[in-house]
Chains A and B, each alone.
Chain A
Amino acid sequence: MALHLINRSPQAEAAYRDAGALFVEGDDLLLIEDACYAALPAAADLLTPFRGRVAVLDEDLQARGLSGRVDARVTIVDMTGFVTLTEKHDSAMSWF
């Protein structure tokens, strides 16, 4: 199964839509860079296609002042957790 990376803010809805079209059971989504803003509860609708398999990169959250603001359904991972996700999945796709 695949790991999907999104790095664009929720304003770039197309990245979420196009990733969602190729997201299947067993895939994971990791939000990095400006996609951290999609981890806020207000953006929950955008993450519906990813069926609860959503993580966000902690260091990018912290840099943006978002620690403590993350939706409870989104998992927070550190850089090692990012690498672990790539160990688990044979392939990765980046949506930008």
Chain B
Amino acid sequence: MALTYALLVQGAPYTHQAALSALRFGRAVVERGHRLKTVFFYHDGVHNASALMTPPQDEVHLAEGWRSLHRGQGTELLVCVAAGLRRGLLDEGEASRHGQIASNVAPPFELTGLGQLLDAMEHHDRMLTFSP
């Protein structure tokens, strides 16, 4: 039976293996015929949402990996706004609200509140956490 999954990603990209493990797991979930509904980025995991991520060409592009899950599955890519703002992850709206000169979070990543994490836990069949 197909299940719905949510992932909580708390590791920064290219620092710990957590984000890579989460992306690998997310793809395997989809390959098994399940639905990966939500990925919630919290703690240092918010850096996965940086639109400016520029890894060398011979390395996996994590942000692009997340975006491809969104394209294929409609997976929501949710970034905790409080954790993101502190660490300098802002979309256009937040950047203008806070008088910043640039923004670095763009769709399909969305800044959102922790309530969305709790919603995902409540409404999806499975919740897996990947932390550094």
Contact = CB atoms under 8 A, between A and B. Distances in A.
Interface of A: 5, 7, 32-34, 59-60, 79-80, 82-84, 86-87, 90-94, 96
B21 A7 contact: yes
Contacts of B127: 91-92
B34 A7 contact: no
A83 B29 contact: yes
Given A86-B126, A86-B128, A92-B126, A80 B28 contact: yes
B131 A79 contact: no
Given A86-B126, A92-B126, A7 B131 contact: yes
A92 B21 contact: no
B131 A94 contact: yes
Contacts of A82: 25, 28
A28 to B, nearest CB: 13
Interface in B10-52: 17-18, 21, 24-25, 28-29, 31-32, 34
B5 to A, nearest CB: 8
B17 A83 contact: no
Chain B contact residues: helix, strand, loop or mixed:
mixed
Q: Which interface class (under 10, 10 to 19, 20 to 34, 35 or more) fits B?
A: 20 to 34
A7 B130 CA distance: 9
B32 A80 contact: yes
Contacts of A7: 17-18, 21, 130-131
B129 interface: yes
Interface string B92-132: 00000000000000000000000000000000011111111
B53 interface: no
Given A7-B17, A7-B18, A33-B17, A83 B129 contact: no
